[in-house]
Amino acid sequence: MSTTVDERVDAPTPAGTDQPKGRRRPFRAHLDAGLYLTLIAAILVMSVPLIWMFLASFKESGEIYSVPLQWLPEAFEWTNYEQVATSIPIGRMALNSVGLTIAGAGLKVFLGLTCAYALVFIDVPFKRVAFVVVIFALLIPSQITIIPNYTLIASLGWLNTYQGILVPGLASAFGTFLFRQHFRSLPISVLEAAQMDGAGHWRRLWRFVVPMSMPTIAAVGLISLVAEWNDYLWPMLVTDNTDTMTLPVGLTLLQSLDGLQNWGVLMAATVVVTTPMLLIFLVLQRRLVSGLTAGAVTG
Amino acid sequence: MTAQTATPIATAPSQPHSTQRRAAQRRKRLRNLGFFALLAGPNIALLLIFVYRPLLLSFYYSMLQWNMGSSVARFIGFENYIRWFTDPDTPQVMGTTAIFAVTTVGGSLVLGLGLALLLNKKIFGRGIARTVAFAPYVLSGIAVGMLWLYIFDPRYGLLSTLLKAIGLSSPQWYTTSPWALIMIIIVYLWKHVGYVALIYLAGLQGVPQDLHDAAALDGAGKTRTFWSIVLPLLGPVTFFLLITTILSSLQSFDLIKAMTDGGPLGSTTTLMYQIYVEGFQTGRAGFASAAATILFVILLVITAIQLKFMERKVHYA
C-alpha cells in the first residue's frame, strides 16, 4: 500500500501534455525530478513482485526462510522445479493447457469470423434477430450459466474430458461483435467484384475478407489465447483428474498439497503458469493492446 | 437485386422467362439461407445452448429446493429469494461485495488516471513503464494470487520485511478480518490498474493539442487545464471504465479463491464467491441459483445504464 500512494499524490499535478519549451527552467527541472521519481516508483511497484517470483523460484528452502531477506539465490538451482514435477504431473497439465488454449482460441476466432461474415454479407430475412441474439449474449455473465452448464456437462458424462472444458466456452459473442464492426468498414466493391467473378461466399470469406482483416483477427486471437490460458473457474469445476486438468487448476492443487506452504515450489509453478503469457505479451504487445482497447472509447 | 422482371423488352415472351427467373431467385434465397445456417449456425447454436438455455434454467433452478447432484427437487417458488434476503450472512456478503467494488473501482480509476498522465509525458522510459504496468493484466489470477500470498507472508514475505524496515510490524494478513480483504483489494488493484491506465492513455491522446495551446494562451496553468479541460473531455472514457470495472470487479473470483477461499469467517466472500460456495461446496444449487439471479439483475442494470449512455456519448473505434 505504502508505495502505491506516492503516484496518487504526485501524478495529477503535472497535467496535460508537454508544453513548448517554457521560461521557468528551474521549476521545470524540479518537476522532472518528481516525475522521474514517480515513474520509477510505479515501475518498481509493478515489476518487483514479478522479479521476486522469478528469483524465489530458484532459491533453496533455507534461503527462502532466511530471516534477513535475501534477494538473489546463492546459485540458480532447479530443485524447486524438479519438486513441482514430482508433486504434480506438470508436463501433462502444461500439454493440456497448451492444447486447450490453442484449440479454444482457434475455434473461437473461426466461429466468430464465419458468424460475423454471415451477419454482414449474407442477406436473409432474420439477420437482425440473429445479430440481437449475439449481442445480448454479451450481457449475460458466466456466473449465471455455471450451474446449469455444469449439470448439462455432468449429464453428458463430460466431466474430466477435454470437450467438457472446451465446448461450453466456444461460442464467441465478443469476437463476433468485433469482427462484425470491422467487416462493415471493408470496401464492398472488392467483394462485389469477387462475386462477379463467380466467387461463392466461402471463397469470398477466405480469399478476400480474411486477408483484409488480419489485424482484427490477430487481436481477437490474442485476447482469446490469454483468456483461455488463464481460465480457472470452469476447468476447476469440470476436472478433478490430473490427466485432463489445466495448469491454473494444478497450481491450486499444489497449494493444498502441503499443509505448510512451500513457497519456492509454489513460485516455480507460478513461473510456469505465467511465463507463456508474459512472453506472448512482450512480443505481441501492440496487437494485444489494440484488441483490448477496441470497443472501448475514442474521445 | 430484388425482382425487377418488368423491363419493357422482357415483357413480350416473358411467361416462361419470368418463372425461370423466379425459380432462380428462389434457389438463390435457399442457397443464402443454407450458407447463413452453415456459417452463423454453429456459433448461434452454441450461444443458445450454453448461454441462453442456462440463463432460463437458472431462473427455474432458483425456484427449486434442490441440491447439486441430487435427483430430487421440490418446487418452492420464491422461497430461495426470501431465504437469501433473510439469511444472516447476506448483510456481510453484500457489505463485502460493496466495499470490494467501491475500493477496486475507485482505486483503479484514480491510480489508472494518474499512471496514464505520467505515461502520457514524453519522458525517457515511458515505453518500459507502459509495458511493465500493463503486464500483470494478462497474467492468471490464480498465479497472481499465489505470488502475492508469498509477498504478504507475515514471516517470510517481502512486505513484512519492508514494513519492519520502517519500524512497523506486519499484520496477520491471511487470518484477521479487515486485513484479508485489504490484501485482496491491493492485489486486485495491482493487477488491473494497467488496463485502466491504458484506456485513459488512449483517451488522453485524443485530447487535441490546440485545446492545450488555447488554454495556455488564456493563462490557465497545468492544474487548471487538467481540471477544466482534460478531465471533462475524459468523461466518456471515465464512464466506460466505470461500468466495465464495476462489472469485472463484481465478477472477480480467481484472486479470492487463490488467496483466502472466502475467509477468514466469510470476510472476503463476495456475492460471486457465495454463488460458487453455495453451488459447489455446500451444494445448495437452488439457493445458489437465486443468488446468481440477483447478481445477474445487478449486472443487467449496470449494463443497461451503460448502453443508454454509450448510444449518445460514445463511438466505437
Instruction: Look at residue A1 and tell me whether its pLDDT is greater than 60.
Output: no
User: How many angstroms separate the CA of residue B14 from the nearest CA in chain A?
Assistant: 25
- The three grid cell numbers given for residue A240, joined into one nine-digit string: 478433478
The predicted pLDDT at position A28 comes to: 59
A253-298 pLDDT tens trace? 887 655 567 888 999 999 999 999 999 998 888 888 877 776 554 4
Q: What is the mean pLDDT of residues A228-254?
A: 93
Predicted complex ipTM: 0.86
Q: Across the strands, what pairs with B65?
A: B74
A2 to chain B: nearest residue by CA? Answer: B163
Contact status of B316 with chain A (Cβ, < 8 Å):
yes
A to B CB pairs, distance under 8 Å: 340
- Count the helix, strand and coil residues of chain B and give each as a percent rounded to the nearest 5: 75, 5, 25
Query: So what's the pLDDT on residue B225?
Result: 85
Match 498439497 to its residue by C-alpha cell: A257
What mean pLDDT do residues A184-189 have?
86
From A77-86, A171-180, B220-229, the region with the lowest mean pLDDT: B220-229
- Confidence (pLDDT) at B211: 82
Terminal Cα distance for chain A, rounded:
32
Question: Which amino acid is located at B294 in the chain?
Answer: I
In this prediction, residues A169-192 reach a mean pLDDT of 88
Residue A1 or residue B280, greater confidence: B280
Cα separation, A149 vs A144, in Å, equals 9
| A175-180 average pLDDT score | 92
Q: Residues A201-213: pLDDT tens digits?
A: 888 889 889 999 9
Chain B window 61-120: which residues touch A at a Cβ cutoff of 8 Å? 61, 68-69, 110-111, 113-115, 117-118, 120
Q: With a cut of 70, say whether residue A11 has pLDDT above it.
A: no
Residue from B146, B218, B280 whose CB has the most chain A CBs within 10 Å, to mutate: B146
Query: Which three three-digit cell numbers place residue A114?
Result: 464465419
As a whole-number percent, the residues of chain A with pLDDT over 70 amount to: 86
Q: Which residues contact B40 (CB under 8 A, 6 or more apart)?
A: A114, A115, A118, A119, A122, A130
Quick one: pLDDT at residue B15? 57
Q: What is the phi-psi region of residue B199: left when phi exceeds 0, alpha when psi lies from -120 to 50, beta otherwise?
A: alpha
pLDDT of amino acid A6: 37
Alpha-carbon span B26 to A295, nearest angstrom: 38
Rounded to the nearest integer, the mean pLDDT of chain A is 84
Dmax (CA) of chain B: 102
The strand pairing partners of B279, in sequence order, are none
Instruction: Report residues of chain B scoring pLDDT below 50.
Output: 1-12, 314-317
Say yes or no to pLDDT of A15 above 80. Answer: no
Q: How far is it, in rounded angstroms, from Cα B291 to Cα B100?
A: 18
Q: A residues 100-139 near B, CB within 8 Å? A: 111-112, 114-115, 117-119, 122-124, 127, 130, 133-134, 137, 139
Other CB atoms within a 10 A radius of the CB of residue A188 amount to: 12
pLDDT digits (tens, 9 = 90+) for A124-153: 888 899 999 998 898 888 888 999 999 999
pLDDT of amino acid A257: 53
* C-alpha–C-alpha distance, residues B90 and B95, integer Å: 8
What pLDDT, on a 0 to 100 scale, did the predictor assign at position A249?
94
From B54, B140, B230, residue closest to A15, measured CB to CB: B230
Name residue, grid cell 475524459. Answer: B234
